[in-house]
Amino acid sequence: MRLLLIEDDDALADGVVRALRIAGYLVDRAADGREADTWLSEREYDLVVLDLGLPGLDGSEVLRRLRARKQGMPVIVVSAREMLDERIRLLDLGADDYLVKPVAISELEARIRVRLRRGMSSEDNRLRIGELVLDLSGRLAWIGERPLELTAREWSALEYLATRANRIVSKDLVLQALYHWDAQITPNAVEKIISRLRAKLEPAGVVIRTVRGMGYYLEQPKPAVG
Ligand code: CA
């Protein structure tokens, strides 16, 4: 198992690296956000331990870029910032765990073991339909490598249809799936959302079909032959 420790404090990093090597992990250490970002885009790691306050590039930006590249390895954030908003923001960005400094090394090791056992937590929640990739836990979508911008309602409609690909769902059911976003939503609004989604999905070759009198379905593209 290869881990990347991203930590700019030399004394702290030395202690953690030593302990993790004794525990049997291969450990690389980056002292700078930019260096970490480069290594993460070039090398394979099984888990990342990430400090937030870093020179070069902030830890949260390192995390955002990592998830934007669809790298799904567990990320444990270790931060001096003990703020609920920050914790929620980091978890939303795709962190798997959040520890506040000072962290006992035994505690960090325990969290690492838990995360490695669970494996590629974010990967498990990925849905692929042709070129379209949905991260169901992060509520993010991509076409190939390109992030797809969606409104909250568009996301909900897409998630509903994509998790039922090739099955016809009535307009009423789509409307219910969107209901919590806006109590005033009308069947007409559903049609508008579907039509915007169609335009956005077109580059991915993903098609939402209308079945007259019945509803919609998202067509699962047939795998290319050859
Ligand atoms: Ca720091």
Query: Any idea where the domains of the chain sit in the sequence?
Result: 2-118, 151-219
107 C-alpha to center of ligand 1: Å? 19
pLDDT tens digit string along 101-125?
888 888 898 889 888 877 544 556 7
Q: Which fold has domain 151-219?
A: Arc Repressor Mutant, subunit A (1.10.10)
pLDDT of residue 225: 57
pLDDT tens digit string along 32-71?
999 999 999 998 888 999 999 999 999 999 999 999 998 8
pLDDT of residue 124: 61
131 C-alpha to center of ligand 1: Å? 38
**Which own/partner contact pairs does 208-216 have at CB distance under 8 Å and 24+ positions apart?**
208/161, 211/168, 214/168, 214/170, 215/168, 215/169, 215/170, 215/171, 215/172, 215/173, 215/174, 216/161, 216/168, 216/169, 216/171, 216/174
Inter-residue contact 50 to 9 (CB < 8 Å) = no
Inter-residue contact 154 to 168 (CB < 8 Å) = no
pLDDT of residue 158: 94
80 C-alpha to center of ligand 1: Å? 8
38 C-alpha to center of ligand 1: Å? 18
76 C-alpha to center of ligand 1: Å? 14
Distance CA 111, CA 99 (A): 9
Task: Mention every residue, 6+ apart, whose C-beta is less than 8 A from residue 203.
Answer: 131, 143
CA max distance for the chain: 68
CA distances from 138 to 45, 112, 219 (A): 20, 21, 23
12 C-alpha to center of ligand 1: Å? 10
Q: How many other β-carbons are positioned within 10 Å of the β-carbon of residue 111?
A: 20
138 C-alpha to center of ligand 1: Å? 26
Per DSSP, 137 falls in state T
Task: Mention every residue, 6+ apart, whose C-beta is less than 8 A from residue 51.
Answer: 6, 7, 8, 9, 59, 77, 78, 79
pLDDT of residue 208: 96
Report the interhelical angle of 152-162 vs 171-178 (nearest 10°).
Answer: 130
109 C-alpha to center of ligand 1: Å? 19
Q: Do domains 2-118 and 151-219 have the same CATH topology?
A: no
Q: Which CATH number fits domain 2-118: 3.10.640.10, 3.40.50.2300, 3.40.630.30, 1.10.20.10?
A: 3.40.50.2300
pTM exceeds 0.75 for this model: no
91 C-alpha to center of ligand 1: Å? 19
43 C-alpha to center of ligand 1: Å? 22
- Per DSSP, the chain holds a count of helices (H) and strands (E) of 8, 11
Task: Collect the ranges in the chain with pLDDT lower than 70.
Answer: 119-124, 137-138, 179-184, 223-226
101 C-alpha to center of ligand 1: Å? 10
194 C-alpha to center of ligand 1: Å? 45
